[in-house]
Structures are given as structure tokens and as C-alpha cells.
Amino acid sequence: MANASKRKGDAAERAVAKTLNDHSIPTRRMPAGAASDRGDLWVGERGVYVIDVKDRADWTHLGQWGERLQQQITHQAATTGCLLLKRRGSTDPLTWWVVRPLALELDVIAAVDMGAVKRTAGGLIVPGGGEVHVPLTDPGRARDLIDKHAPYLGHNEGDAA
């Protein structure tokens, strides 16, 4: 039987995977026993985004976790990824902290700066032959948004994962 720390981590990973899948963002857990560390969760149809979930009270190893995240992205041949740190007292992954090195955030910053993604009180606006409004209350449109506007987000439909 797994130890308490492993059970806690597995529960946090399952909660994140369920939340993302419930928002129509395909997410699967990393298969156990892989030869190389490729993250806890793979996001997207092709696993182009890696999430390393942490359910820890002590974040003193944040620098090491960030370095390991870079390795996981390489091992998975993913486009990018993040650390997801559980907030104390919260069981809702939507309130947990996303942490990533600035180098990984540059594509997102550039996409927002180019006007590829804009956030309004009602949702996200992404240009594409006319602006597409994606309400934050309609998460089922997230997959369509990503597919249609992949070039703005740093990867193309034909890219290998």
C-alpha cells in the first residue's frame, strides 16, 4: 500500500485531471513506472503541456521543482508546462497556484501582447477572421479555442508532440 504522502499526491493529481477534463481540456495522468520523469499530468490531445502537481505545505524546494519541470517538458517532448501548487485549505484545483519560470511564460505574454488572447469580464477574446468571444462560463469551447488559434500559442496543428 502506498504511503500517506503518495496517496495525498495521487488524490491531488486526480482532482486536477478531473477538473481539466470537466472543462473539456483533455488531460491524462502519467503512467506509473515510466523510465523517465515526464510530469504528473499530460494536457491536450498530444500531451503538449505538462503539469507537475505538488500538495506540500513546504515550498522550499520550489527551485528544484522548477528545474525538474524543465526536464519533464523535455522528456515528454511537450511545448511547455507548469507546477501546480495546492493551496492550503482548498480542495478546488481552480484556486491552486500555477508556477512556471518566466522563460516558459514568454509565449503567453507575446500572445497576449499581440492581441491573440484578451481577457474581459465576460471571458476570453481571440481574433481569427473576426473576434471569437469565449465566455469563461462556457469551458467546453476551450478545446476549439486552442485548436483554432494554436499558431498564436506557440504550436501548430501539424507539429509533432
For the segment 91-137, what is each residue's pLDDT rounded down to a tens digit? 999 999 999 888 888 877 777 777 666 666 655 555 553 444 455 45
Looking at residue 31, what is its pLDDT? 72
- Are 12 and 32 part of one and the same domain? yes
78: confidence class by pLDDT, cuts 50, 70, 90: confident
C-alpha–C-alpha distance, residues 135 and 109, integer Å: 20
Residue 92 class from Cβ within 10 Å (0-12 exposed, 13-18 middle, 19+ buried)? Answer: exposed
Looking at residue 110, what is its pLDDT? 75
Q: How far is CA 7 from the centre of its chain?
A: 22
- Are 88 and 112 part of one and the same domain? no
Question: Which of these three, 74, 100, 126, is where a domain ends?
Answer: 100
- Are 6 and 59 part of one and the same domain? yes
**pTM across the whole model:** 0.69
Looking at residue 129, what is its pLDDT? 39
- Are 93 and 20 part of one and the same domain? yes
In terms of Cα–Cα distance, which of 22, 62, 13 is closest to 40?
13
C-alpha–C-alpha distance, residues 9 and 4, integer Å: 9
Mean pLDDT throughout 126-149?
50
Question: Which of these three, 52, 78, 100, is where a domain ends?
Answer: 100
- Are 87 and 26 part of one and the same domain? yes
pLDDT digits (tens, 9 = 90+) for 16-49: 999 988 888 889 888 766 667 788 898 887 778 8
Angle at alpha carbon of residue 96, lines to 93 and 101, rounded to 5°: 125
Looking at residue 158, what is its pLDDT? 42
Looking at residue 156, what is its pLDDT? 41
Looking at residue 153, what is its pLDDT? 44
Looking at residue 23, what is its pLDDT? 82
Which residue range forms the structural domain that includes residue 63?
1-100
Contact 67, 81 (CB under 8 A): no
- Domain count for the chain: 2
**In the chain, what's the furthest Cα-to-Cα distance?**
55
CA atoms lying within 13 Å on the CB side of residue 27: 22
- Are 15 and 92 part of one and the same domain? yes
